[in-house]
């Protein structure tokens, strides 16, 4: 366990500020450690006491004189630095700083927190917190928190950025019968953060699923690295709160306006193989299912019900979740026909009908789960007076035992009447829900984990060796030396070409003669555009002329563009006029990049042209680690894909060329972190090849 073994399974724990006074945190922590059955050494530290909670107390941690793995801080922030220094001198490995009054209270607290980290670093100690509830490991066992409850021993690790949520979930879990392996309140994450605890939980033999409540991620790269590794072993589910589009508002590029910080979290989680839960309910629905049921091998789902309506609701949910209503084999159908009454529906959803006794559930479940064309089962029950609900629950749980390779989820609908069955199912590891939809959504979530995990396992970054990094660097240096952050059109087109991103040939002309010479070299027809970083909407000021086909037209265009632009924006710095080859019309797309403060460059692809912000058809992935398969997904998940495939008999576009262009844009953004914005809008896609028409690159 990444060095956190001594935190989660310590040999010895000191509680600094342990107290004899009930109601104080120092009292709660030491009592929790004692009552959790912790078998290691416990050292209460309190200058005024000889003994606390039955343990010998010491006036200072320096007085203990024995190795100490963990020191839990229950003393005020004002003494925390001094206490941390003493811990360092005493050779303590981990500090759990429950104390509040750090970063969360403002600049003063932030400074104190920084000093605390410095002190810890000086002695090689790690910090959990500050401003947290503490940690628990039910298998050690240890409860080094001030929570009211200690969870049932189980296999779910829960890592939370909210201490209050921890205590609420703990209380709920006892009622629900959900067991935990580890419980970690990360607090301010001054040192150890979610990535460290994900790693630790994934390596913990008692953990089968890792759940997180996060408000932010400290270090995007570290998180992805840790999560990608962890998800190969166990499912990782994240509920990310505080999703805003504030980041999107701040962005000036098309790509930036299409994205938001939420998009970056989505892209990051997917890239890491992490399931993102939308609600707390979904988070724990999945956690329960992952610890009790096998992961479905495929989408083919069977529904067993004793009433028609819920069967239809469930069939709808199967479809809307992207699962498939299993098509039973003829043998199964025959078996059901032979054993069920003629009123039953022997096709999926299998309806054993309202007068069913529990034995019909047995017949239906046995047949369905033995069917090779079934991957998972949903058991629905409406309470009737003729049905023994407990017996139906037993049959369902037994079917689960008999088919450990296929997941079963249940919805015994109702309240009091089904309670006995619901309890039995919960106690016997069959996830059960008040209504069919969440049952089916859970199956979908489990399958999604399998898909994400396999995708991560088979993916590596798509890189190109034939790019001209030095030449691009020289262009960027030149732009910066000129005091600009925005590249001129011809410079941006050259950068694209150096990375083999096909761009329409483009040259800068400083005079009408030069413009003619460029046009002759490029070949007619050409487009001419004013080259000035100060003029954003070139067309509006008369700074664009298209379809020029002769020397005379080009010379005339040069003069008129210069005159119009100078008149419209007299203060603009004008570099000349860009002469660009006029490309034939293709399908209009956009390839872009926007920067996320946590996860770095994100590549975008979607429908392009002037309506890009209106259509909002874009897919996003992290540039770092972007694989060829991910690029393929980016394309196929947009509406633009319908057009690319050849809409209404049109010839399909060159998708491989498009894919490569996206891959190369990602590499450009990875190679040059100084690119703050990149937009290629439009990119024309043709039956053969693609062409970047308007490349906009902005440096930091």
Residue nearest to ligand COA (CB): 163
The stretch among 13-21, 190-198, 560-568, 613-621 that binds ligand COA (CB under 6 A) is 13-21
**CB 25 to ligand COA: min, Å:** 4
The stretch among 23-31, 475-483, 557-565, 678-686 that binds ligand COA (CB under 6 A) is 23-31
Q: How many residues bind ligand COA (CB under 6 A)?
A: 26
- The C-alpha R_g of the chain, in whole angstroms, comes to 32
Residues 117-136 binding ligand COA (CB under 6 A) are 131-133
Q: Quick one: which of 26, 235, 310, 436 contacts ligand COA (CB under 6 A)?
A: 26
**CB 70 to ligand COA: min, Å:** 15
Instruction: Report the phi/psi class of residue 53: left, alpha or beta, with left for phi > 0 and alpha for psi in -120 to 50.
Output: left
Does 21 bind ligand COA (CB under 6 A)? Our answer is: yes
Does 46 bind ligand COA (CB under 6 A)? Our answer is: yes
Q: Quick one: which of 71, 84, 100, 509 contacts ligand COA (CB under 6 A)?
A: 100
Contact map string, positions 159 to 198, toward ligand COA, x by CB under 6 A = ----x---------------------x-------------
Q: Reduced to 3 states, what is the DSSP secondary structure of residue 276?
A: strand
DSSP 602: E
Of 161 and 173, which CB lies nearer to ligand COA in the complex structure? 161
Of 46 and 335, which CB lies nearer to ligand COA in the complex structure? 46
**CB 324 to ligand COA: min, Å:** 45
Q: Quick one: which of 19, 193, 382, 691 contacts ligand COA (CB under 6 A)?
A: 19
Q: Quick one: which of 13, 14, 33, 75 contacts ligand COA (CB under 6 A)?
A: 75
Q: CA distances (Å), 654 to each of 404, 645, 688, 691, in order?
A: 46, 9, 5, 11
Of 167 and 443, which CB lies nearer to ligand COA in the complex structure? 167
Q: Quick one: which of 37, 54, 65, 76 contacts ligand COA (CB under 6 A)?
A: 76
CB 680 within 8 A of CB 665: yes
**CB 20 to ligand COA: min, Å:** 6
Q: Quick one: which of 14, 30, 45, 374 contacts ligand COA (CB under 6 A)?
A: 45
Q: Quick one: which of 48, 175, 648, 688 contacts ligand COA (CB under 6 A)?
A: 48
What is the phi/psi pair of residue 549, to 5°? -125, 5
Determine if the peptide bond prior to 375 is cis (ω within 30°). Answer: no
* Ordered DSSP codes for 243-260: --SHHHHH--SHHHHH--
The stretch among 3-11, 94-102, 109-117, 584-592 that binds ligand COA (CB under 6 A) is 94-102
The stretch among 19-27, 352-360, 532-540, 684-692 that binds ligand COA (CB under 6 A) is 19-27
Q: Reduced to 3 states, what is the DSSP secondary structure of residue 19?
A: coil
Q: Quick one: which of 9, 40, 79, 628 contacts ligand COA (CB under 6 A)?
A: 79
Give the whole-angstrom CA distance, residue 35 versus residue 141: 10
Strand 675-685 to 587-596 pairing: antiparallel
The contacts of residue 640 (CB under 8 Å, 6+ apart) are 587, 589, 605, 606, 607, 617
Q: What's the gap between Cα 289 and its chain centre?
A: 20
**CB 463 to ligand COA: min, Å:** 44
* Ordered DSSP codes for 576-596: EEEEEE-PPP-EEEEEEEEEE
**CB 130 to ligand COA: min, Å:** 8
* Ordered DSSP codes for 156-205: EEEEES-HHHHHHHHHHHHHHT-EEEEEEE-TT-SSS-HHHHHHHHHH-T
**CB 49 to ligand COA: min, Å:** 6
The contacts of residue 258 (CB under 8 Å, 6+ apart) are 248, 592, 594, 604, 606, 612, 613, 616, 618, 620
Does 16 bind ligand COA (CB under 6 A)? Our answer is: yes
Does 84 bind ligand COA (CB under 6 A)? Our answer is: no
Give the whole-angstrom CA distance, residue 119 versus residue 483: 43
What is the phi/psi pair of residue 688, to 5°? -125, 115
**CB 19 to ligand COA: min, Å:** 3
Give the whole-angstrom CA distance, residue 132 versus residue 80: 14
**CB 131 to ligand COA: min, Å:** 5
Does 85 bind ligand COA (CB under 6 A)? Our answer is: no
Give the 3-state secondary structure of 194-225: HHHHHHHHHHCCCCCEEEEEECCCCCHHHHHH
Q: CA distances (Å), 426 to each of 151, 301, 431, 693, in order?
A: 16, 21, 6, 60
Where on the chain is the footprint of ligand COA (CB under 6 A)? 16-17, 19-21, 24-26, 45-48, 74-76, 79, 83, 98-101, 131-133, 163, 185
């Amino acid at each position: 366990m990444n060095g956190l073994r001594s935190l989660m399974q310590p040999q010895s724990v000191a509680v600094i500020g342990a107290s004899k006074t009930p109601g104080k945190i120092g009292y709660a922590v030491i009592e929790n450690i004692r009552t959790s059955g912790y078998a290691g050494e416990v050292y209460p530290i309190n200058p005024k006491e000889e003994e606390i909670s039955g343990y010998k107390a010491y006036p200072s941690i320096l007085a203990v004189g024995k190795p100490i793995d963990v020191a839990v801080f229950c003393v005020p922030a004002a003494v925390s630095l001094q206490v941390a220094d003493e811990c360092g001198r005493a050779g303590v490995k981990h500090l759990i700083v429950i104390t509040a009054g750090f970063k969360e209270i403002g600049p003063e607290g932030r400074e104190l927190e920084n000093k605390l980290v410095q002190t810890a670093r000086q002695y090689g100690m790690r910090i959990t917190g500050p401003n947290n509830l503490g940690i628990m490991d039910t298998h050690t066992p240890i409860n080094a928190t001030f929570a009211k409850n200690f969870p049932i021993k189980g296999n779910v690790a829960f890592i939370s950025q909210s201490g209050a949520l921890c205590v609420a979930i703990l209380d709920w879990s006892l009622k629900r019968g959900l067991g935990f392996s580890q419980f970690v309140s990360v607090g301010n994450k001054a040192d150890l953060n979610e990535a460290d605890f994900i790693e630790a939980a994934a390596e913990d033999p008692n953990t089968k699923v890792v759940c997180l409540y996060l408000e932010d991620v400290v270090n995007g790269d570290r998180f992805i690295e840790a999560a990608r590794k962890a998800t190969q072993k166990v499912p990782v589910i994240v509920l990310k709160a505080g999703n805003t589009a504030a980041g999107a508002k701040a962005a000036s590029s098309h790509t930036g306006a299409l994205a938001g910080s939420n998009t970056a979290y989505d892209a990051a989680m997917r890239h890491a193989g992490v399931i993102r839960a939308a609600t707390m309910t979904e988070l724990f629905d999945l956690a329960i299912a992952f610890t009790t049921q096998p992961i479905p091998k495929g989408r083919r789902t069977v529904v067993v019900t004793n009433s028609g309506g819920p069967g239809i609701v469930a069939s709808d949910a199967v479809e809307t979740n992207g699962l498939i209503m299993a098509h039973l084999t003829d043998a199964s159908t025959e078996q059901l026909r032979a054993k069920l009454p003629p009123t039953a529906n022997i096709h999926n959803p299998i309806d054993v009908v309202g007068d069913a006794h529990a034995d019909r559930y047995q017949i239906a479940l046995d047949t369905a789960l033995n069917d090779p064309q079934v991957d998972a089962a949903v058991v629905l029950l409406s309470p009737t007076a003729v049905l023994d609900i407990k017996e139906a629950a037993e049959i369902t749980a037994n079917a689960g035992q008999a088919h450990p390779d296929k997941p079963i989820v249940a919805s015994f609908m109702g309240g009091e009447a089904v309670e006995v069955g619901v309890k039995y199912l919960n106690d016997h590891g069959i996830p059960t829900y008040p209504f069919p939809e969440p049952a089916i959504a859970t199956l979908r979530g489990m399958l999604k984990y399998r898909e994400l995990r396999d995708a991560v396992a088979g993916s590596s970054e798509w890189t190109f060796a034939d790019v001209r990094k030095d030449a691009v660097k020289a262009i960027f240096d030149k732009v910066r030396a000129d005091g600009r952050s925005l590249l001129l059109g011809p410079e941006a087109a050259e950068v694209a070409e150096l990375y083999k991103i096909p761009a329409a040939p483009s040259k800068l002309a400083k005079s009408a003669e030069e413009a003619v010479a460029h046009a002759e070299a490029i070949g007619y027809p050409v487009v001419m555009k004013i080259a000035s970083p100060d003029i954003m909407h070139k067309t509006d000021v008369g700074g664009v002329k298209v379809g020029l086909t002769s020397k005379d037209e080009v010379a005339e265009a040069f003069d008129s563009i210069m005159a119009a632009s100078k008149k419209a924006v007299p203060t603009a710095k004008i570099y000349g006029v860009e002469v660009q080859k006029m490309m034939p019309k293709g399908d209009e797309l956009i390839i872009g990049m926007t920067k996320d403060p946590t996860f770095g460059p994100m590549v975008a692809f979607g429908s392009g042209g002037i309506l890009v912000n209106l259509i909002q058809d874009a897919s996003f992935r992290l540039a770092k680690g972007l694989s060829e398969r991910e690029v393929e997904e980016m394309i196929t998940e947009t509406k633009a894909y319908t057009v690319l495939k050849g809409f209404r008999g049109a010839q399909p576009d060159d998708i491989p060329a498009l894919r490569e262009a996206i891959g190369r844009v990602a590499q450009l953004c990875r190679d040059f972190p100084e690119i703050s914005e990149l937009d290629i809008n439009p990119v024309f896609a043709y039956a053969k090849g693609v062409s970047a028409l308007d490349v906009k690159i902005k440096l930091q």
